[in-house]
Chain A
Amino acid sequence: MKKRSAFIWKHKVFSVLLLLAFLILLIVIFPEILTSKDPNAAVMMDALQAPSRAHPFGTDKLGRDLFARVVYGARTSVPTAFLLVFLIFSIGSFLGIIAGYFGGFIDALIMRIADIMIAFPGLVLAMAIVGILGPNLMNAVLAIAAVSWPKYARLARSLVLKIRQRDYVAAAVLTGSRTGYILRRYMFRLSLPTLIVTAATDIGKMMLEMAALSFLGFGAQPPTPEWGLMLNEGRSYLQIAPWLMIYPGLAMFLVVSVFNLIGDSLRDLLDTAQEE
């Protein structure tokens, strides 16, 4: 316990950020805490109402409560961003570690595929993939994952190439450790911290990319409450109902900020830990 409170005291900013992230996750799991309204309940009589006591963020063109939609929007954006980061993190690290450790043909094959994907503006190919597979949230996740994993593969490969040179790896090989064990025990575990920092800084970025796809109509489909989609729906009412733009944008900004800051301070934390 003493150790834990010392950690919190030493890394105040990081702890506060983690608390905020925890609160965001809490809202994702239990949106009912903040609002009792149904985000999809359309009341045409109340369409496009300005923020008031009954509707703190106003209502949209179908008279749905914007506050409820923004709150439930977290439920779409946050888990998909996590899923996306998890996917590219595991696929990319796995392939990168394999490529770096075995080298030769496998390395060349994996890295050339990565080159093809990385030599490419991500959103453009993602758009094409969604366009061909059909627009929905899952395809958008797959499309962005398809163009984002090479970053992790390259990083993991370069880390493994360094780790492989160490004496203890040679010792493990000499003493007859199985390859799977070496990959898990040394390659994966030692490259993990750097990979995790990259993953943490990517959460916010992925959220914005998913929102951009949804904004273009290639991600979440109506009536799903999703921030990018909400901004697209509110776009034509920019002049008469600016709240339709302001609040989903702010929500996205806040959540992305929290995750970006966590990524930044995680990197600082790791850098100082390595220096010590």
Chain B
Amino acid sequence: MSAKVIGRRILQILIVLLGISFITFCLIYLAPGDPVTAMYANSGGVPNADVIAQTREELGLNRPFFVQYVSWLNAALHGDLGNSYTMSMPVSQILLSRLWPTVKLALFSIVLMLAFSVPMGMLTAVKKGKAVDYIVRVLTFIGNALPSFWIGLMLMNAFGLKLGILPVMSSDTGIQNLILPAVTLAVSMSAAYTRQVRAAILEEMKQGYVTGGKLRGLRPRVILWRHVFKNALLPLVTLLGLSFGSLMGGTAVVEVIFSYPGLGNLAVKAVTSRDYPLIQGYVLWTALIYMVINLIVDISYEYLDPRTKARRRA
């Protein structure tokens, strides 16, 4: 990918972020309920009208909408997303402290998912129409129709409460605490991804070079791993990047179930207590992470598929 294309993509990311910040800012501006009252309610006090008016003045809430937005944007560009109403700490600092646990959980669950769906997808593609294919298809269908939070609670019941081998509450981020939330996320993602791997491999096996390889007397295993898998990798990496989006949403639900101290759990608390700066910061961060990951995915095409490079030169 040339520098020009990357530059254009980064510009696009900035536009999207600007759009999202504007939408969330509008929504917060229009939201029912006064943020100042909410702020004081959270800290437990009931202020009188003067104090409220003064705080409004201090926070600049009396100024016109666009003035407020521009000054907020200016601060945001300097890394200042304001202070959380409930925790009276800078939003960026809170988010930063919760980022690593969520990234760890997401990466761990992606590894688990890949460990299941890539071999299973390939197996079912090779054994298309055989018993294994049907069994795995039924399993992925079931996984697809079950809510992830239900799977999480059932796993918690089985391994945490009945067998007692894994912690029920994942309040710190050690590997033991990571297993149940990560498995929960991996189960629901694997269901979709196994099907996608299967479809991608089947599509690739239709290609002429597979027949060619067979005619040349190559062993099926060599054809599958050396050629088919390598070629099917491209769509699979794209889908992986996209599934990261649902993962960011999915972690919220799973983090709540297991009381895992990540971004998602934080966001749910922020939403419940109407901590607007925190909600906004979370939304922007997630969007940024998601889009940067997809940019990296697109850049990686270059290395995965030399054809894209050749095509551009031509």
Tell me the A residues contacting B by CB distance below 8 Å.
112-113, 115-116, 119-134, 204, 208, 211-212, 215-218, 228, 231, 235, 238-239, 242, 245, 249, 252-253, 256-257, 260
Nearest CB in chain A to that of B29: its residue: A132
Q: In the complex, A257→B147 CA distance in Å? A: 11
**Which residues from chain B contact A128 at a C-beta distance below 8 Å?**
24, 27, 267, 271, 279-280, 282-283
Residue contacts A-B, CB under 8 angstroms, 30 given: A113-B19, A116-B20, A119-B13, A119-B294, A120-B245, A121-B245, A121-B247, A124-B249, A124-B267, A124-B283, A128-B24, A128-B267, A128-B271, A131-B279, A133-B27, A133-B32, A211-B147, A212-B148, A231-B149, A235-B257, A238-B153, A238-B156, A245-B157, A249-B147, A252-B150, A253-B142, A253-B146, A256-B146, A257-B141, A257-B145
Q: Which of B208-251 contact A (CB under 8 A)?
A: 245-250
A245-B153 CB under 8 A given contacts A124-B248, A216-B253, A253-B145: yes
Stretch at the interface among B47-55, B64-72, B174-182, B285-293: B285-293
Q: Which of B1-34 contact A (CB under 8 A)?
A: 12-13, 15-16, 19-20, 23-24, 27-28, 31-33
- B145-A204 in contact (CB<8A): yes
Q: In the complex, A4→B145 CA distance in Å? A: 31
Which of B15, B144, B150 meets A231, CB within 8 Å?
B150
**Which residues from chain A contact B141 at a C-beta distance below 8 Å?**
257, 260
**Which residues from chain A contact B256 at a C-beta distance below 8 Å?**
216
A238-B157 CB under 8 A given contacts A127-B252, A128-B279, A129-B27: yes
10 closest A-B pairs by beta carbon, nearest first, are A123-B249, A131-B271, A121-B248, A116-B19, A121-B245, A249-B150, A256-B145, A257-B145, A132-B27, A132-B31
Nearest CB in chain A to that of B31: its residue: A132
Nearest CB in chain B to that of A119: its residue: B16
- A132-B147 in contact (CB<8A): no
- Chain A nearest CB, measured from B251 CB (Å): 9
**Which residues from chain A contact B257 at a C-beta distance below 8 Å?**
235
**Which residues from chain A contact B120 at a C-beta distance below 8 Å?**
none
Q: In the complex, A126→B24 CA distance in Å? A: 11
Tell me the B residues contacting A by CB distance below 8 Å.
12-13, 15-16, 19-20, 23-24, 27-28, 31-33, 141-142, 144-150, 153-154, 156-157, 161, 245-250, 252-253, 256-257, 267-268, 270-272, 274, 276, 279-280, 282-283, 286-287, 290-291, 294
- B267-A133 in contact (CB<8A): no
Nearest CB in chain B to that of A218: its residue: B271
- Chain A nearest CB, measured from B220 CB (Å): 29
- A127-B145 in contact (CB<8A): no
- A123-B147 in contact (CB<8A): no
- B150-A120 in contact (CB<8A): no
**Which residues from chain A contact B161 at a C-beta distance below 8 Å?**
238-239
Q: In the complex, A120→B249 CA distance in Å? A: 10
Q: In the complex, A239→B144 CA distance in Å? A: 26
**Which residues from chain A contact B12 at a C-beta distance below 8 Å?**
115
- B274-A131 in contact (CB<8A): yes
Nearest CB in chain A to that of B23: its residue: A116
Nearest CB in chain A to that of B256: its residue: A216
Q: In the complex, A126→B153 CA distance in Å? A: 23
Residue among B20, B141, B145, B271 with the highest chain A CB neighbour number at 10 A: B145
- A217-B272 in contact (CB<8A): yes
Which of B33, B154, B267, B271 meets A245, CB within 8 Å?
B154
- A123-B250 in contact (CB<8A): yes
**Which residues from chain B contact A119 at a C-beta distance below 8 Å?**
13, 16, 287, 290-291, 294
- A132-B15 in contact (CB<8A): no
- Chain A nearest CB, measured from B229 CB (Å): 27
A216-B252 CB under 8 A given contacts A231-B153, A235-B153, A238-B161: yes
Q: In the complex, A89→B246 CA distance in Å? A: 20
Nearest CB in chain A to that of B264: its residue: A124
**Which residues from chain B contact A238 at a C-beta distance below 8 Å?**
153, 156-157, 161
